[in-house]
Structure 1
Amino acid sequence: MTRRTPDSRPPSSATSAEGAWSAKMDRLRRRARPQNRLRICDDDDLRQRYEDAEQQARRARFVAEANPGDEPAARQSADADTARDEIRQLLDAASEFLTFRALPRPVLEELISQHPPTEQQAEDGSIFNPDTFPAALVAAASVDGMSREEAEELLDGWSTPDANALWDAAWKVQQESRVELGKG
C-alpha cells in the first residue's frame, strides 16, 4: 500500500484530466457570441439579379452533382458560381450592413426588466414593453454603435417590413443556440 504524504502529487491521470478540463473551460470562455448581419440595399434590380444568379447556381450545382463526371455540367456549375459571386460583390458594394451580437444572458435579462410590459401588454402575454424594448435591444446589440435614439428613429421611420427586419436581426441573434444535446 502506498502512503501519500501531504506534499505528494495526485496520480498523473487526475492531473491530466484537470489539465484537459482547464483547457476546455478556457475554450468555452473564449467562444465568440453569435452575430447577425442585416443587409440594406435599395437597388431592387441588383437584389433581383443576385437572387436569380443564386437560383441558377443552385440549379447548375444540382445538375452537376446528379451527373458526376459530366464535364460540361461541372463547368456550367462553376461558371454559375462565378457569376453569382460577381453579382454578390456588386450587391455588397451597393449595400449597407448592420451587425448585431448576442448579449450575455444577464445583460439581456436586465434590459428586459428595464422595459416591463404595461398591465394590458402583460395580459396579452408580453414579457417586455413592445413600445420601448425594441429600440433598446437594437441599440444594445448593435456592433456598429447605434444609439437608442437612432434605433428608435429607424424603427419608427422605416416601412413596417424593414422595421421588422431590423428588429428581427437584433432579436433573433439573442435566441440563436450553437449547442445541441445529443447521445454520446
Structure 2
Amino acid sequence: MTSTTSTWDAKKKRLDALKRPEQPFTICEDPEVRERRNRAKAAHQRATEVLADLPPEEEHRDLYEARVKETKTELAAAQKAFDAASVTLRFIALERQEYEDLVKKHPASEVEEAAGEDFALETFAPALISASSLDGMPVDYALHCLNTWSPADARGLWNAAWTIQHHQRTDLGKG
C-alpha cells in the first residue's frame, strides 16, 4: 500500500463518517419567558466579559466572581422556564438527490418561473419541511403551520428547513 493510498483511505473514512448538518427551530409561546431568558443571557455575558477584562490583582475580584455566579444561576432558571414553554423541532439537510427529486415533484408554474423561482413554493415548502423534519412532521401538518401561524413564525419554520439545505461546511480558501 502506498502512502497516497493510505492517506486517501484515512480521509475517505473521515468523509464517510460525516453527519449531515442539522438545524433546530425553537418556538416559545410566552414572550415574557423568552425575554427573561434573553435578558439573563445578556447579563451573564456582560458579567463574564467584565470579569475576564479585570486585572488579576483587582481588589474586589470576588465581587465580580459572585456577580458571574449570580447571573449564571439566573440564566439557568430562565433557560429552564424557556425550555418548558417551548417546542423545538429539528431539521436535517437532505441528500442532494433527495432534495433535487423533491424540487422536481413541485415544479414552478409559468408565472413562478418568470419570477426566477425553481419550484412551486406553496407545495414545495410543506414538502421540504416534512422531508427534512427529524421529528416526523407530516406534510399536512407542515402546511397547517404555514397557513395558521403568524407570518413571522411560519417564515421561521420555512427558513429552518430551507437554510439547512444550503448550509455549507466547506472552505475553498488558500492553504
Same fold (TM over 0.5): yes
Once the 2 structures are TM-superposed, how far is the Cα of residue 19 of structure 1 from its aligned partner?
A: 1.9
Runs ≥4 residues deviating over 6 A: none
Query: 1:31-180, aligned counterparts within 5 Å?
Result: 31-69=18-56, 70-180=61-171
Code of the residue aligned with 1:57 in structure 2: it is H
C-alpha separation in 1, matches of 2:84 and 2:111 = 45
Which 5+ residue runs of structure 1 have no aligned equivalent? 1-9
Once the 2 structures are TM-superposed, how far is the Cα of residue 160 of structure 1 from its aligned partner?
A: 0.7
Aligned to 1:6: none
Aligned to 2:11: 24
Deviations 1:35-54 (A, max 9, x none): 11111211121111101101
Deviations 1:95-137 (A, max 9, x none): 1111000001111111111111110111111111111110000
Aligned to 2:172: 181
Code of the residue aligned with 2:146 in structure 1: it is L
Code of the residue aligned with 1:152 in structure 2: it is L
Q: 1:130 to 1:17 in 2, by over 3 A?
A: same
How many equivalent residue pairs?
A: 171
Q: 1:68 to 1:137 in 2, by over 3 A?
A: farther
C-alpha separation in 2, matches of 1:162 and 1:27 = 37
Identity %, equivalent residues: 36
**Secondary structure at 1:180's aligned position in 2?**
coil
**Secondary structure at 1:132's aligned position in 2?**
helix
Between 63-72 and 87-96, the greater mean CA deviation after superposition: 63-72
* RMSD over aligned Cα atoms: 1.4
C-alpha separation in 1, matches of 2:55 and 2:126 = 51
